[in-house]
Each structure stands twice: as structure tokens, then as C-alpha cells.
Amino acid sequence: METGPAPIDAVVAYLRTRPGADLLWTSCEAGPGSPQPFYLRYGFVLTGDVKWGEDLLRLDLTDPPSGGP
């Protein structure tokens, strides 16, 4: 079930007000039904690292807001 960017927009907006919050991390597996394409469209980048069997992605919170996908 895709909810769109609104929940992440809210988290990102809040984190940008917090001192020292410069990165937002998430992880997911690639493949059918994965949220990875959504995260990549949003502005997250693959780090090349894998943790718990999932690809790690990060969003630079110091970049100007992109407005999501």
C-alpha cells in the first residue's frame, strides 16, 4: 500500500529543524513490491552498503527541500 510522500515530507521537515540532523537513513530490499524506487525518486541515494540483508539509503537533509517525487 503506497501512501505517497506526505509522511516522509513531514519527517524531513521536522528533522530539518533539529540541530545536528543532517542525514535520514532507511533500508529496504530491492525487488518486486519494494519501496526502493519510491525512495530513490524522493531523493534518497543508495550507499552501496547492505545491513540486515537490505540496501542502505540516505537522504541528505542539508540539501534544499526537493518536494518529494
Per-residue pLDDT at 2 exceeds 60: no
**Cα(62)–Cα(22) distance, rounded to whole angstroms?**
6
Strand-pairing partners, residue 56, are 27
**pLDDT of 14-50, one tens digit each?**
999 999 999 999 999 999 999 999 999 999 999 999 9
Give the chain's domain count: 1
Residues of the domain holding 44 = 6-12+22-60
C-alpha cell recorded at residue 69: 517525487
CA-nearest of 24, 18, 9, 17 to 57 is 24
**Which pLDDT does position 43 carry in this prediction?**
95
Kindly state whether residue 28 falls inside one of the protein's structural domains: yes
**Which pLDDT does position 32 carry in this prediction?**
95
pLDDT confidence tier of residue 4, bands split at 50, 70 and 90: confident
Kindly state whether residue 69 falls inside one of the protein's structural domains: no
